[in-house]
């Protein structure tokens, strides 16, 4: 027997204003505050589509000024679809959902002086009144807290090569398992072990989809040689996937991997990745420093070609993510 979900369930899904109100804390005696921008709060209350954006990509993922320009361009792409962008970061201990241009500029210029903040770092950063840029993991967590369902980024963290001895597995993957948020990305970089990353996501109960291809993309290239667990070909199908996840209250995440445009520099980038990983071992880089280290080295070794592709694919993901968000909200009406 097919169970039909009625309008009651839809009303549950509409309960975003309650989420926004619950999350709106401003209490001097507490050790954390959340500030939701006017634009984002209005969108949450009136049920307008929203897309969240992370900030570690600004502080640690790209150099200045490309980081600043890209962050603004991505926001403007999202807006061009009639969707509200919500860039998330912690500024002087206050969790911000939706940043001003000035705040984005601040993060872009402080760069690595901002604390790269995953779930484990959040209470430290807020209680000490520090500034932290949120990784995919913390951005998923805060998106879920205020009721934002679609989150756009460049690349996810994953299982690192050699994780069988280092145990280096990004907190992005466990966070994806815990929150019913859809993350639109270009897959995971080949600085990571892609097959192991997919295995780990399966264990976490994360639905992994490639948009319009049978292969899981490797960030800089469409081809990883790894078969994707699921393929969807339309925006509508992706929106319906999110809707089903919500109706069933699975409370686990979804990844939409968008293959990037074919890259003429993929061989150069591949070589740079191999050399950078070897160099990271020589330099003794470990833990949260590894991903930013590799991104910087690869960019240097490719003469900026990897950064160019990175910028282009984030924008491409923003186009797809915005449309999914819009369709999802239409399904709720």
For ligand PSU, the binding residue among 52, 53, 61, 141 (CB under 6 A) is 61
Of 81-89, 134-142, 196-204, 244-252, the segment contacting ligand PSU by CB under 6 A is 134-142
Q: Is 184 a residue that touches ligand PSU (CB under 6 A)?
A: no
Instruction: Give kind and range of the element (H or E) at residue 152.
Output: strand 150-152
Q: Is 224 a residue that touches ligand PSU (CB under 6 A)?
A: no
Least distance to ligand PSU, CB of residue 287, Å: 7
Concerning whether 41 is annotated as a catalytic residue, the answer is no
Q: Which of residues 146-165 bind ligand PSU (CB under 6 A)?
A: 154-155, 157
Q: Is 122 a residue that touches ligand PSU (CB under 6 A)?
A: no
Q: Is 168 a residue that touches Mn ion (CB under 5 A)?
A: yes
Q: Within the chain, where are the H helices? A: 7-13, 16-23, 38-46, 56, 66-80, 101-110, 122-127, 136-146, 163-166, 171-178, 194-203, 235-247, 266-282, 290-301, 305-332
Residues 6 or more apart whose Cβ sits within 8 Å of residue 278: none
Closer residue to ligand PSU in complex, CB, 151/243: 151
- Output phi, psi for 112, to 5 deg: -70, -5
CA 321 distance to own-chain centroid: 11
Contact call for residues 153 and 317 (beta carbons, < 8 A): yes
Active-site pick, 41, 54, 75, 215:
54
Active-site pick, 116, 178, 189, 296:
189
Q: How far is residue 143's CA from residue 330's CA, in Å, rounded to a whole number? A: 20
The residue at minimum Cβ distance from Mn ion is 168
For ligand PSU, the binding residue among 16, 105, 178, 288 (CB under 6 A) is 288
For ligand PSU, the binding residue among 43, 53, 57, 74 (CB under 6 A) is 57
Beta-sheet pairing, 115-117 with 94-97:
unpaired
Q: Which of residues 82-111 bind ligand PSU (CB under 6 A)?
A: none
Concerning whether 130 is annotated as a catalytic residue, the answer is no
- Which residues form the interface with ligand PSU (CB under 6 A)? 54, 56-57, 60-61, 135-137, 154-155, 157, 170-172, 189, 288, 291, 295
Catalogue the active-site residues: 54, 189
């Amino acid at each position: 027997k097919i169970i039909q979900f009625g309008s009651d369930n839809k009303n549950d899904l509409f309960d975003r204003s309650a989420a926004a109100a619950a999350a709106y804390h401003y209490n001097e005696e507490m050790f954390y505050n959340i500030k939701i921008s006017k634009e984002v709060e209005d969108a949450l209350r009136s049920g307008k589509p929203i897309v969240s954006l992370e900030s570690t990509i600004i502080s640690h993922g790209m150099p200045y000024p490309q980081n600043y320009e890209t962050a603004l361009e991505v926001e403007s792409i999202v807006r061009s679809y009639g969707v509200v962008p919500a860039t998330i970061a912690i500024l002087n201990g206050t969790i911000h959902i939706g940043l001003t241009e000035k705040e984005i500029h601040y993060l872009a210029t402080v760069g690595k002086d901002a604390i790269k903040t995953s779930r484990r770092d959040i209470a430290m950063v807020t209680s000490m009144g520090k500034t932290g840029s949120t990784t995919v993991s913390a951005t998923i967590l805060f998106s879920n807290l205020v009721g934002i369902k679609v989150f756009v980024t460049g690349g996810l963290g994953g299982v690192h090569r050699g994780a069988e001895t280092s145990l280096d597995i990004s907190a992005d993957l466990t966070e994806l398992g815990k929150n019913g948020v859809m993350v639109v990305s270009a897959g995971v970089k080949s600085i990571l072990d892609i097959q192991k990353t997919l295995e780990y996501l399966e264990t976490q109960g994360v639905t992994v989809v490639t948009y319009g291809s049978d292969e899981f993309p490797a960030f800089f290239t469409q081809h990883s040689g790894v078969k994707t667990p699921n393929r969807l070909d339309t925006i509508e199908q992706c929106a319906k996937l999110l809707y089903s996840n919500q109706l069933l209250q699975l409370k686990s995440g979804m990844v939409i991997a968008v293959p990037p445009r074919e890259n003429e520099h993929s061989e150069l980038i591949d070589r740079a990745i191999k050399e950078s990983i070897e160099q990271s071992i020589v330099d003794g880089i470990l833990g949260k420093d590894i991903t930013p280290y590799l991104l910087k080295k690869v960019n240097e070794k490719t003469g900026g070609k990897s950064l160019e592709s990175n910028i282009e694919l984030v924008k491409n993901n923003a186009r797809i993510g915005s449309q999914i968000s819009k369709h999802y909200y239409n399904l709720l009406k």
